[in-house]
Amino acid sequence: MAGAYDDRDGVIWMDGQLVPWRSANVHVLTHALHYASSVFEGERCYNGKIFKGVEHSARLLRSGQLLDMEIPYSVEQIEKAKYDMLAANGWTDAYVRAVAFRGAGSDMGVSSSHNPVRMAVAGWEWGAYYGDAKMKGAKLDIAKWKRPSPETIPTAAKAAGLYMICTMSKHAAEAKGCSDAMFFDFRGYVAEATGANIFFVRDGEVHTPDPDCILNGITRQTVIGMLRDKGITVHERYIEPGELESFQQCWLTGTAAEVTPVGQIGDYNFEVGALTRDIAADYEKLVRS
């Protein structure tokens, strides 16, 4: 499938129905378009099975609750919607995007309690998120923006509004020839990339930021479990910027990123070492098992 995302063949599940792709539209006065009242999930389907699909659907509902936006579907209904969409498009391997948002209604201001919460599930066939970086290691810029404090916004939600600085940071990174950007958090600790969690290796042990102000990714949790099952020590902790030069390996995790090695962050270089390659291969086996 190719072309602009609003001009493709296929169907999208929308508010309980499968509708032609080009007809899956919303009004220009949809609340989410003006005030970012939207939450979403990114998932991958491998060999006809969505990896950790139920966990993603449950998180979508939690994200909605955190934004005071009760989504009118159960986990079971969301799961059915995803598989109905995949079947209607004839896909067994695809990226799946579920999104819930406040639509147009009688409110058109900051308040939107009278507007309906709508939902859609789309999908597309998508390869490696970072292209050939999965083999040679991604190059990351360091973002000028910082991940916000959980006292300013519900950082545990996968909410659209949290991604605006990600878009700006990724644009700036790409202009420098980088694949992505790494954020520090509001306190100055290492946080994450624009759409992926980050891991480091030093002397055979793994270090990853404490997710107290970033999304505790489902892929992140999966990879931590895999590492511990292999007997590898994993430290979830605050990581100082000055520690970057002491790490030998680095990788990113996320539904889109899967496990992607990192070769450079700013002026710091990392090897695509054995542990990075092993965990990437093990993850690939797991999602296709």
* Under 8 Å between Cβ of 69 and 16: no
Cα 276 from chain centre: 20
158 catalytic per annotation: yes
Per annotation, catalytic residue among 158, 176, 230, 285: 158
Q: Tell me the pairing of strands 249-254 and 258-265.
A: antiparallel
* Under 8 Å between Cβ of 183 and 145: yes
* Under 8 Å between Cβ of 183 and 146: yes
Q: Return the structure tokens found at 259.
A: 């496990």
d(CA 109, CA 234): 46
* Under 8 Å between Cβ of 238 and 209: yes
* Under 8 Å between Cβ of 75 and 61: yes
Which spans in 38-179 are helix H? 53-66, 75-89, 133-136, 164-175
Spatial CA neighbour of 139 closest among 172, 170, 177, 105: 177
For the annotated catalytic residues, the residue numbers are 158
